[in-house]
Structures are given as structure tokens and as C-alpha cells.
Amino acid sequence: MKQMTFGLDPLPKKTRKEVFLEEMNQVVPWAALVALIQPHARGAHQALGGRPPFPIETMLRIHCLQLWWNLSDPAMEEELHERPLYRRFVGLEGAARMPDETTILRFRHLLEKHELAPQVLGTINAGLARHGLMLKTGTVVDATIIAAPSSTKHKDGERDPEMHQTRKGKQWHFGMKAHIGVDATSGLVHTVVGTAANVNDVTQAGALLHGQEEVAFGDAGYQGVHKRAEAAGPAWHVAMRPGLRRKLNPFIEPEFIAERLEKAKASVRAKVEHPFRVIKQQFGYAKVRYCGLAKNTARLTMLFALSNLWMVRRQVLAARG
């Protein structure tokens, strides 16, 4: 027997994906980012008699959808055709045509060619600073390995020559490293550097500083950073090597104090792990998607910029009333 509804439709339920897009739609500074990209975009297709190009904001929203759900260009094209929610978000609801995978790829290449990803990160952080969320008095530095599929073949029949293998603990990894500098108070990323996986963390410490910090924190991989000229300036607080820390005797007062100091430094360094969790777990970026460091670093920079907004979205929305 069919259930009687008395002419009343069930109340619509918002999915988590819909709630996510509503929140990000409000916190992403679309107008500022469009103004940043617009000077580099041209209406070449229209000038040559082709179809008029899609608006910059539409393509930027599509690019954000790619980043949030780790979609390839062909997969993004199919999602636009299949999901009304995505079409509504990018402003193509009821449109006669959708961007194809080539159009999506060209927009991504536009961002890469003009190195706009670091500028997007700077624009977003400037807006967050106006809300008092970027204090810039201290920096935490760290790096994580982003795996690259070792079986992917280069056009010359080899693995990606810009990716390398490295050993972490007793396990070998092949891919790249994402080095980030994070605000010590808010945990927001202000600098991103991409290198091969075999590059030592301490060599990139200076590049991760913005120059205004008074203190800097790093794990045991940054031992000796205070001796490097490019990292001079802030007072460095680097973790003790694990082997030495395990030898500390809690019943001897100086060593007990040293252990408490290590715990205090670790509580500050913990903030650098949150952006890594967001891009790997929330946005699903567990492996590199493209060939070469430049393309993957640009993608990582955009991901960290959007992760900043995701982590403080509630504060931003509350500040706007």
C-alpha cells in the first residue's frame, strides 16, 4: 500500500556537499580573485569569430570544484553535465552549453603560466588579515611527502624526472615534498614551496619565512637551521632529536624541564598538521595529478589557499554577521 502524503512534499534535506558549497561560496573572495585573473585573460576566441568565452568567475568556480573533489579535467566536464548542484554553484544553471575539458584545461594553464596561485594565496590571506586572523609574529615550518605513481610513464618512457625517491623511517617513498610556512597563532598557511622528495627540509626553511616573524618553530628535521644565513632573523625553536629525547630522565630536574619545553614546542608545531590534514583528507589530494613540479606546486598552493578559508570559515561568517 502506498503511503499517503496528503499533498505535502517531504522537507528538503541539505546534503553535506551542499552545505560545504554554501559556506565556501560566502567566504571565497570571488570579486578580488576575478580582478586578479582578469588582466591575464583575453577574449581571443571571440575575436577570432568563435564562441564567446565563459566568464572568469565561472571558470574559477569550476577550478575550485576540481580542487575540492580532486577531479581531472574530463571528470569535471562530466560532473557539470550530471550534477545540477555544480551547475548552480558555477552559475551555469539552464545554460545552453557547458565548458568542455579543453576549456577547463586552458584556464588551469592560464593560472600556471602567469604564476597566479601564489598571488591567489596572498589575496586570500590579505582578506583574512583584515579580519584579524593572520598575526604574522611567528612561523611554523614543516613538509609532507606527496606520492607520485612510480608506474606512470613519461613521454620518453621513464618516470617523471622531477620526482625522486626518499626514505622516511624504514619505508621508501617516490614523489615530491610540499614545504609550508604556517602562522604560529592561527595555523594558516602563508608560504608554499614544492620540491622533489629527496630535498632536505632544512634547505627550504629560509624560503618559508615571510620576514616579519620574531620566532620560528620546526621539528627535528630542521636541526642546524640557525646556522644557515638565509634562515637568519627569527629565534628558532627546533625539536630535540627523538633518540636524545627518549634518554631524558624525568626524575632529574634539568631534564624534566627540558621535556616540558619539548611538549610546549610540540603544542605550537601541531598547528602545521591541520593544513596537511585538510588537503589530504578533506580535499583528497593524496597523490600528484600532473607531471612536473611546477604544475603540482601550483595546485598545492591553490589547495592551501582554499584550506585557509575552510579552516576559518566560521570566524569569517561570524565577523560578517
Q: Are residues 186 and 244 in the same domain?
A: yes
Q: State how far Cα 192 lies from the chain centre.
A: 9
Q: Is residue 243 part of a domain?
A: yes
If asked whether residues 147 and 207 sit together in one domain, one would say yes
225 in a structural domain: yes
pLDDT tens by residue, 52-84: 889 999 999 999 999 999 999 999 999 999 999
Q: Are residues 262 and 165 in the same domain?
A: yes
pLDDT of residue 53: 87
Q: Are 172 and 166 in contact (CB under 8 A)?
A: yes
From 148, 162, 240, select the one nearest 196 (Cα to Cα): 162
Does one domain contain both 148 and 287?
Answer: yes
**In this structure, is residue 255 part of a structural domain?**
yes
Region 11-21: mean pLDDT is 88
Q: At CA 146, angle to CA 70 and CA 19, rounded to 5?
A: 30
Mean pLDDT computed over 226-248:
91
Number of domain units in the chain:
2
Q: Hunting for cell 595529478 — which residue is that?
A: 289
Same domain for 288 and 141, yes or no, is yes
Average pLDDT over residues 248-258: 89
- What range defines the domain where residue 250 resides? 136-292
Average pLDDT, the chain: 90
Query: Are 51 and 107 contained in the same domain?
Result: yes
Looking at residue 48, its pLDDT comes to 45
C-alpha dihedral over 295, 296, 302, 304, to 10 degrees?
-160
Question: Does some domain include residue 303?
Answer: no
Co-location of 143 and 210 in the same domain: yes
> Over the stretch 290-309, which tens digit does the pLDDT of each residue have?
989 999 999 999 999 999 99
For residue 43, which amino acid is it?
Answer: G
Q: pLDDT per residue over 85-127, tens digit each?
A: 999 999 999 888 999 999 999 999 999 999 999 999 999 999 9
Residue 3 covered by a domain: no
The DSSP bridge pattern shows strands 171-183 and 235-238 to be unpaired
Would you place residue 5 in the very low, low, confident or very high pLDDT band (cuts 50, 70, 90)? low
3-state secondary structure 265-306: HHHHHHHHHHHHHHHHHHCCCCECCCCCHHHHHHHHHHHHHH
What is the torsional sign of CA 136, 141, 147, 150?
positive
- Phi, psi (deg, nearest 5) at residue 56: -60, -40
Same domain, 141 and 288: yes
4 in a domain, yes or no? no
Residue 242 lies in a domain: yes
Q: Looking at the structure, tell me whether residues 272 and 196 fall in a common domain.
A: yes
Number of H helices and E strands in the chain, helices first, is 13, 6
